[in-house]
Amino acid sequence: MISKSQQQTTDVSVGEPIETDAVIIGAGPVGLFAVFELGLVDIKAHVVDILDKPGGQCAELYPEKPIYDIPAFPEISGQELTDNLLAQIKPFEPTFHFQQRVDALQKLPDGRFQLTTDIGQVFITKVVVIAAGGGSFTPKKPPYPGIADYEGRSVFYAVRQREQFRGKDILIVGGGDSALDWVLNLQPIARSMKLLHRRENFRAAPDSVNKMRALVEAGKMEFHLGQITALHGENGQLTGVTARHGKGPEFEIACDTLLPFFGLTMKLGPIAEWGLNLHENLIPVDTEKFETSIPGIYAIGDINTYPGKLKLILSGFHEAALMAHSAHRVVHPDKTLRFQYTTSSSSLQKKLGVKAS
């Protein structure tokens, strides 16, 4: 269920700066519906998300779990909701930028905003819509004593450049898809590959597990049962770890590179540094426009707060509609917005690509 996002990061490329009307941060249900509401008022949107697919928590945490409080859907799974939203916003042709996190936000002298992602993609936009939910999904860091000293030098939580691991003595820890996928992906270029996992069973796809076991059989890698109890090395360079399986004896595993894969957790991240006067890690907004303390920057869905706020998907949908009407004034200041219904407005139906009856 946890994505292979870490594995596919190498496919992401940085292009020229993109000028646009709106950038939506977060491709969860509320970010997706914001594409729809913005589209109805003639605002094109780019959508940035750290995951490798749309849906946010719905797709990452509970794709198969039923949700019971989406209006008019007595029961719908996280994945179905995501798929339906994607179908609904299709006429507005949003551009998705996956596996990227918006790190910097800056106001430009002409009133627009410049956003820069962690891989250096730049957006120049008239409005920013923060629909970042519980924050961005980031790898969990295990509590091995002293691990911080090794991070970035010999301990990594994601693979950004595969070549960096050529010729290394790699120890991968974990039993999920990321762990197994990287075992198989890096084994051919590593000097040695070892996998450490707490049990004989794996949550990863059986096919990957079988491939890993075949490599072990062929003497091309090692598999150890256990969990790390200590790291060894100095000046940030790992030389090995101590591990233990259950109440068994401790043993040493030599390695110069450690990749722990324990799934993802949500962290607010750089949004905290954008001057939005956060309140308990949430972004305060008004309830008329869902605008933040900075005009032109909106926050909708789980990430915002206001009196009476409920963290429900349906509340986020409502917030997206009101946000879009306010954003229209910023993006198209010369045009008057007339309130219309999709059931009867031929101009809205034209935008949606449906025939007027």
Partner 1 sequence: MPKITFIEFNGTEHVVEGEVGQTLMEVAVKHSIPGIEAECGGACACATCHVYVDEAWLEKTGTPKDTEEDMLDFAFDVRDNSRLSCQIKVTEELDGLVVRLPEKQY
SS3 9: helix
* Number of neighbours of residue 354 by Cβ within 10 angstroms: 11
**What is the rounded radius of gyration, in angstroms, for the C-alpha atoms of the chain?**
23
Cβ(105)–Cβ(294) below 8 Å: no
Q: Which region among 38-46, 106-114, 124-132, 192-200 touches partner 1 (by CB under 8 A)?
A: 192-200
Nearer Cβ to partner 1 (61/124): 61
Select the residue interacting with partner 1 from 142, 269, 270, 284 (CB under 8 A): 142
Restricted to residues 216-235, the positions that interact with partner 1 (CB under 8 A) are 227
Q: How far is the CB of 153 from partner 1 (least distance, A)?
A: 22
* Number of neighbours of residue 130 by Cβ within 10 angstroms: 27
Beta-carbon contacts of 222 under 8 Å, excluding residues fewer than 6 positions away, are 192, 193, 194, 195, 216
Select the residue interacting with partner 1 from 4, 96, 122, 263 (CB under 8 A): 263
Q: Is 202 in the site for partner 1 (CB under 8 A)?
A: yes
Select the residue interacting with partner 1 from 96, 223, 262, 306 (CB under 8 A): 262
Q: Is 175 in the site for partner 1 (CB under 8 A)?
A: yes
Nearer Cβ to partner 1 (161/201): 201
Q: Is 201 in the site for partner 1 (CB under 8 A)?
A: yes
Strand partners, 223: 195
Q: What's the distance, Cα to Cα, between the start and end of the chain in Å?
A: 43
Restricted to residues 49-68, the positions that interact with partner 1 (CB under 8 A) are 57, 61-62, 65
- Tokens found for residue 12: 């992401």
Restricted to residues 270-329, the positions that interact with partner 1 (CB under 8 A) are none
Q: How far is CA 22 from the centre of its chain?
A: 19
The count of residues interacting with partner 1 (CB under 8 A) is 26
- Tokens found for residue 59: 């797709």
Q: Which region among 107-115, 134-142, 287-295, 327-335 touches partner 1 (by CB under 8 A)?
A: 134-142
The whole-angstrom separation of Cα 266 and Cα 103 is 15
Q: How far is the CB of 265 from partner 1 (least distance, A)?
A: 4
Q: How far is the CB of 263 from partner 1 (least distance, A)?
A: 4
Q: Is 197 in the site for partner 1 (CB under 8 A)?
A: yes
Q: Is 141 in the site for partner 1 (CB under 8 A)?
A: yes
Nearer Cβ to partner 1 (116/227): 227
Beta-carbon contacts of 324 under 8 Å, excluding residues fewer than 6 positions away, are 34, 37, 38, 40, 41, 43
The whole-angstrom separation of Cα 150 and Cα 239 is 11
> Of all helices (H) and strands (E), which one includes residue 57?
helix 56-60
Q: Is 140 in the site for partner 1 (CB under 8 A)?
A: yes
Q: How far is the CB of 66 from partner 1 (least distance, A)?
A: 10
Cβ(194)–Cβ(212) below 8 Å: no
Q: How far is the CB of 121 from partner 1 (least distance, A)?
A: 28
The whole-angstrom separation of Cα 298 and Cα 103 is 17
- Tokens found for residue 111: 């009133």
Nearer Cβ to partner 1 (203/211): 203
Q: Could you list the residues that contact partner 1 (CB under 8 A)? A: 1-2, 57, 61-62, 65, 134, 140-143, 174-176, 197-199, 201-203, 227, 246, 262-263, 265-266
